[in-house]
Structure 1
């Protein structure tokens, strides 16, 4: 979207305002407030919990648009883990401001049985991140993910909630197109397999939202997929 209207941007501001979990004190549960997690050493159970939380948010929006839901996948989770490892091994991060680490992504997709375009460019990663402490509560982690997803869906490029009324901070909706599978192809309306992982570089944490369209699994993957 090269030149969104003022009305469209106003709707995006409204979306940032009304979806407020990232800036209020409420938690999903008392247990989340009490559970400390090490972002650089997440357990498989913790990764699954964060992935399920992310999917719940994405699928709530997709259902409102009449779109099929995304699905968690152990195969997508392994790919997410491997992509995060590539970032960590080669000291890459969202804080570098150089975009996605294409070489690492394509190395991981190839190692996970993909062929074709998925081994040549980034077709699977949406990326967000933040600066902060390594040990935080599960509630804090969920709120960071919530804010990043709001940024993606509503096109907000500001650094924090205090900037959400500034329409000049609403700049791109490519992430939203990915989340809603509306990228102008014959596969619009498709659904994705999903996994999530986190990598660390210094005080920067990169969240890897790994989203593999189901048609790509059918066309470009050799082996089983679950």
Structure 2
């Protein structure tokens, strides 16, 4: 019941096993949670190398130079400035509810309009100006130096947040570009804190007041 039914070559992204209509784990209840956890752990134990390869594919997308329509075009386009106005997307939601149920509950939401040439400028901008994967990797490497320096615990905390935002989805669900945005912010903070120079006033913050008042012994003549 839990295994994908489509042939291997026709299967969609891993996250489709969670979000697609009819998924056995799409219901937010204890039974579905226990069933999904048992199946996931059994699958990882039975196919550890396939699991590692799946995580590796997510890392390739994270640190790749170009962007791709992943997990599919209908999802990735929601993260971009549109060509035309769109209504609520028609993909299934959790608990087996269609998006129409969301509209019935919360209303259709605000309407908008697109005006040129400014909208065209933004669409061109989004296609070319973004943090490339290798650049993100370099930023993470800069922040990683903080883990070797005890005095830069603030940078280590920011770096850990960035790493968690990138890795937890890959290990538990699937890759998605929306996780890169907050991870990039934390990674940049970590890199800035890890590489900044310590000011003289900060260098003595760890000393006690008695140590700072202690006289410096004179050098022998």
Query: Taking CA–CA contacts closer than 8 Å with sequence separation of 6 or more, which of the two structures ends up with the larger relative contact order?
Result: 1
Q: Which has the higher strand share?
A: 1
Q: Same fold (TM over 0.5)?
A: no
Task: Determine which structure has more spread, i.e. the larger CA radius of gyration.
Answer: 2
**Richer in helix (by share):** 2
TM-score by length of 2: 0.23
